Structure formats: structure tokens, C-alpha cells
């Protein structure tokens, strides 16, 4: 699909971290925070499992703690870790000492990117305020291939900031409830895609977006019939908590056995990371 967002410069030269192009097939199955129905969300084991199951890409959320990009969704620690209180009120050392499920730590963005290199594309949701510039800086410092990355945000000011400092990294405008014209808002930040809630993903809207070069990705779809319907409507892909189930419905079940997926998770769990 040819988008009307900013052009993506060549992946040769400065970029040395190979990644699968994000939009590499007509309909994408994206692991929403990994494979969280089977492993703790936004952890290395969850992302490793989604990859082992055959997901086309993974989605994650970044926030900034002591100038370090960490992968966690909520503003509060309570739901997904053994800690309590706000993420922005804890030190990095204390955060990394918490259990994020199954004995895992809250990962750094750099760790997840290391895991994904040459395997899947990565949708990085800019969850916290002021995350666009450090995310772009990290991607450039690592030599991360732009085609394998998609930066998204509900706060479109973060997308504008990302566009200003690193226009080569593709962007997706996130929407919950639709107010105004989402296509116009997406194009205003040079997005290549708009990410819609499943309740707002209408065939006419998807078609109108496609007509101006915008891909439509829909979240969070765990029902196989709904996934097939969205594919028929022309969506470019879905975010799901159950990539294995969706892939089987799409006729693209992973060749990796369940035991291999579990082995992959165990390998991540045993990794000595800092």
C-alpha cells in the first residue's frame, strides 16, 4: 500500500538492525502486548510467545522512567506488577525489581527490540508524555530499520514530535471514540495508518482511508469471526491478545509446536538481562 505520509528513506547505510517490514502482507496479525492470554502482558516471554506462534508483528507501550524507555501499559503499577503507585513516581531500579508476572521484570524497550530483530515488526505506542523524542533517538542510535517500526499514539502531539525529529519512522494515529475526521487527523501528522477501536471500524471508513493511502489497523480483536470480517472489509490487520487462535482462523497457523513456544518462553525467562 502506498501511503501519503512522509516518505521512508532507504534502509541501507546507517541502518544496521534488520527487521521484517511491518506491512509485509495484506492482513496482519499483531500480538497486542505480545500474547497476553497465555503469558504476562508486555513481558519478554509474552513477546517471545507471540513471535513463536507466528505473529506478523508485536505491539507494546513505552513510558519514560529516569530517562529510560520501559515497556508498561498502565500509569499505575498495581494491575501488572507487584508494585503500587504511579509509574512516573518510581525509580528505574525499583521498577526493575518488581515482578511483572511469572517472575519477569518490566522490560526495557531496547530489550524487546533485541528480541524482535529480524523476526517481526514492532508497533511502539508512545504511551507516556514526552516519549517521542527519546524513542526516536533510541531507534536511530540502534540503527533500527524504519520499515520494521510503527510509532503510534492517542496523543497526536507525540506523533507530531516524532515526525519533527525522525520523519523516517512511520506513524499511526490512534483513536478511541471518533471525534471529527480521523482520516484528516491521521494525514495531519503524516501517518501511514490509523489504528481504530473495533467498535468504530466501519467498512466505509476503512475504504475511505485506503483511497487516500492510509492502512487501517483495528484493536483489540480476539474473536475469529470478527477478524475474518475485518479482513473482508479491507482492514490492513488487527491487534489481538490471542495471535495463535487468529492465525489458525486465517489459515496461517505457526509451524512451531506448542512445546517449542514454551521452550522459547523458558529461554527468555532464563536470560540474564539488566
Strand (E) or helix (H) holding 4: none
Under a CB-based contact definition with an 8 Å cutoff, are residues 140 and 167 in contact? no
Active site residue 73: yes
Q: Do 197 and 219 touch, CB atoms closer than 8 A? A: yes
Which of 73, 156, 197, 232 is catalytic? The answer is 73
Are 249 and 37 in contact by the 8 Å Cβ rule? The answer is no
CB–CB of 124/149 below 8 Å? yes
- From the list 24, 32, 156, 197, the catalytic residue is 32
CA dihedral in degrees (253, 259, 263, 269; nearest 10)? 90
Q: Under 8 Å CB-to-CB from 119, ≥6 apart: which residues?
A: 19, 20, 51
C-alpha cell at 132: 517521542
To the query of whether residue 24 is one of the catalytic residues in this protein, the response is no
Q: Look up cell 477501536; give the residue.
A: 197
Closest CA to 55 of 37, 75, 35, 85: 35
Cα Rg of the chain (Å, integer): 18
Contact in structure between 244 and 254 (CB atoms under 8 Å):
yes
Q: How many residues does the chain have?
A: 274
Residues annotated as catalytic (active site), given as ranges: 32, 73
Amino acid at each position: 500500500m502506498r501511503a501519503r505520509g512522509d516518505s521512508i528513506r532507504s534502509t541501507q547505510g546507517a541502518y544496521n538492525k534488520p527487521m521484517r517490514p511491518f506491512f509485509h502482507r495484506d492482513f496482519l496479525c499483531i500480538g497486542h502486548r505480545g500474547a497476553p492470554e497465555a503469558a504476562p502482558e508486555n513481558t519478554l516471554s509474552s513477546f517471545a510467545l507471540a513471535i513463536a506462534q507466528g505473529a506478523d508483528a508485536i505491539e507494546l507501550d513505552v513510558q519514560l522512567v529516569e530517562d529510560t524507555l520501559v515497556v508498561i501499559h498502565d500509569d499505575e503499577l498495581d494491575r501488572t506488577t507487584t508494585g503500587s503507585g504511579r509509574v512516573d513516581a518510581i525509580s528505574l531500579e525499583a521498577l526493575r525489581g518488581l515482578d511483572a508476572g511469572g517472575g519477569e521484570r518490566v522490560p526495557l524497550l531496547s530489550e524487546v527490540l533485541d528480541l524482535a530483530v529480524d523476526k517481526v515488526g514492532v508497533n511502539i505506542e508512545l504511551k507516556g508524555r514526552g516519549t517521542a523524542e527519546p524513542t526516536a533517538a533510541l531507534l536511530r542510535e540502534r540503527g533500527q530499520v524504519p520499515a520494521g517500526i510503527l510509532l503510534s499514539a492517542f496523543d497526536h502531539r507525540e506523533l507530531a514530535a516524532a515526525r519533527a525529529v525522525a520523519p523516517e519512522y512511520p506513524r499511526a494515529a490512534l483513536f478511541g471514540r471518533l471525534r471529527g475526521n480521523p482520516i484528516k487527523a491521521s494525514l495531519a501528522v503524516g501517518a501511514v495508518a490509523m489504528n481504530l477501536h473495533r467498535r468504530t471500524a466501519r467498512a466505509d471508513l476503512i475504504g475511505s482511508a485506503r483511497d487516500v493511502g492510509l492502512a487501517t489497523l483495528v484493536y483489540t480483536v480476539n474473536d475469529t469471526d470478527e477478524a475474518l470480517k475485518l479482513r473482508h472489509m479491507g482492514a490492513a490487520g488487527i491487534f489481538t491478545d490471542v495471535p495463535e487462535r487468529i492465525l489458525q482462523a486465517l489459515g496461517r497457523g505457526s509451524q512451531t509446536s506448542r512445546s517449542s513456544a514454551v521452550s522459547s518462553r523458558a529461554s527468555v525467562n532464563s536470560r540474564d538481562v539488566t
